[in-house]
Amino acid sequence: MEQEKKVSSRFIYFFGSFGGILFGYDIGVMTGALPFLQSDWGLYDEAAVIGWVTSGVMFGAIFGGALAGQLSDRFGRRKMILASALVFVLGSILCGMAPHDGALYLVLVRILLGLAVGAASALVPAYMSELAPARLRGRLSGLNQTMIVSGMLLSYIVDFLLKDLPETWAWRTMLAMAALPAIVLYFGVLRLPESPRFLIKHGREQEALRVLGYIRSPQEAQREVATIKDMARREERSAARTSFASLLDGKYRYLVIAGVGVAAFQQFQGANAIFYYIPLIVENATGNSASSALLWPIIQGVILVLGSLLFLLIADKFNRRLLLTVGGTVMGLSFLLPALLNTLIADADPMMIVIFLSIYVAFYSFTWAPLTWVIVGEIFPLAIRGRASGVASSFNWIGSFAVGLLFPIMTASMPQEAVFAIFGVICLLGVIFVRARVPETRGRSLEDIETNSLPIRGAAATGAGTVNQFDESR
């Protein structure tokens, strides 16, 4: 434990969120690699193969998130982040070694890689929310999103720099270089402490107090340990052992539906259709080669990073539900308006859709993108937090997998504007879900959220607890 005493709070927060780099890089790297892979293997008319190669990571992530969430309740968040980093290194190298025309091999390896990606997406928000103080939890948990989009931008830049290599070396190098951030993550996490809430849940109170001492004053650390212990005792009395069936228990169901619903809507809104396929979208709109459009992903990546930095400034100044409502509304209109304008204007500029997609990315970057993981990290009760975070992550990846797989198939059978209009409707449905089902969590401790969050309908009926739950003026 002497080594842990040397760990600074900045180091903890930085590497606690660094796991986002892993799946941010992998989300982005295929954007640039795909045109070269498509040319190298002659996949121009193979929409289903392209969809599976692209979405294989998301398919694996569906299971990786759920598995890691369950195992982290037993072995700890830190150990599972280390394991996911090792799997990521292995999977990235194997992707770069794919045999020529080995589509099935590449799909299977990317499914393996997805196990690590899904694990990181489940573990990082839970770890960060359990370390962050309530007053800073939105901002510090938002570091996860900053890491994700920084990983995406890094991959876009790497893709652009490698675009002049022979095509077979270009895409292989792009995919294999994903191992580098995973190696950095592994050695950084080796020095991280375990989550204090996990330690207390497993009877290691002194270790939890020591960890909280790195990032709290002594008085704050003592109070937080007492609060966590009290909540843990209450959970033990009500449910000595939890399982996935516990997620549907009456006292948890409302918060589980809220967290899982937000995670699912984030992906079904279609963001990854832009991030994975923007060169192909530009090619479809302009007729220019997709491999010559690799500057557009960098533009999208810069917008994402700037949006994530904006979120860090406003995260704890505006309510979660307000930001999700504004963001989802503008995102939906950004998808719907191009379809409407193309219907009304026969010779509309084909690049108009790319401009509207940039507006979508801008609002997504500081609302739904980071807030999904903030909410997933803070809304679930301690007794089910690992499993519930894993399920939320899995539903998020189900949406990502469906979008990644179906987008090239849909655009092969209908106009791009019609496909994006479908996503626009989903964005607006997400806003309705937030207003109806998601409690306000800004500025509240994890234990307070668990104790006092009631369904909106129930709160309205009783007239009780409205300030703690949904006061939009806070």
Within 13 Å of residue 38, how many CA atoms lie on the same side as its CB?
A: 23
H or E stretch at 464:
none
How far is residue 470's CA from residue 454's CA, in Å, rounded to a whole number?
10
Q: Is residue 3 part of a domain?
A: no
The reported pTM is 0.75
How far is residue 359's CA from residue 470's CA, in Å, rounded to a whole number?
29
Q: Is residue 2 part of a domain?
A: no
Residue 209: which residues within 8 A CB-CB, separation 6 or more? 196, 221, 222, 225
Q: Is residue 89 part of a domain?
A: yes
Question: Which positions of the chain have pLDDT values less than 70?
Answer: 1-7, 134-138, 140-142, 234-246, 287-293, 348, 446-447, 450, 452-474
User: For position 259, which CATH number holds?
Assistant: 1.20.1250.20
Longest dimension (CA), the chain: 70
Q: Is residue 359 part of a domain?
A: yes
pLDDT computed for residue 459 by the predictor? 41
Contact present, 268 and 335 (Cβ < 8 Å): no
Place of tokens 């997620």: 247
pLDDT computed for residue 93 by the predictor? 94
pLDDT computed for residue 453 by the predictor? 62
For 64, 73, 75, 120, the CA distances from 70, given in Å and listed in that order, are: 10, 6, 9, 13
SS3 348: coil
Boundaries of domain holding 213 = 10-469
Q: Is residue 14 part of a domain?
A: yes
Report the domain count for the chain: 1
The structure tokens listed for 17 are 């969120």
How far is residue 221's CA from residue 223's CA, in Å, rounded to a whole number?
6
Angle of helix 271-286 relative to helix 352-366, nearest 10 degrees? 160
Contact present, 390 and 66 (Cβ < 8 Å): yes
pLDDT computed for residue 433 by the predictor? 96
Place of tokens 């280390």: 82
pLDDT digits (tens, 9 = 90+) for 56-92: 888 888 888 778 877 887 888 888 889 999 999 999 9
Within 13 Å of residue 201, how many CA atoms lie on the same side as its CB?
A: 24
Buried b / exposed e over 14-28, threshold 16 CB at 10 Å, is ebbbbbbbbbbbbbb
413-419's contacts with Cβ under 8 Å and 24+ in sequence apart are 415/342, 416/281, 416/284, 416/285, 416/353, 417/338, 417/339, 417/342, 417/353, 418/339, 419/273
Contact present, 437 and 256 (Cβ < 8 Å): no
Q: Is residue 391 part of a domain?
A: yes
Q: Is residue 28 part of a domain?
A: yes
Q: Is residue 1 part of a domain?
A: no
For 127, 371, 465, the CA distances from 320, given in Å and listed in that order, are: 20, 7, 18
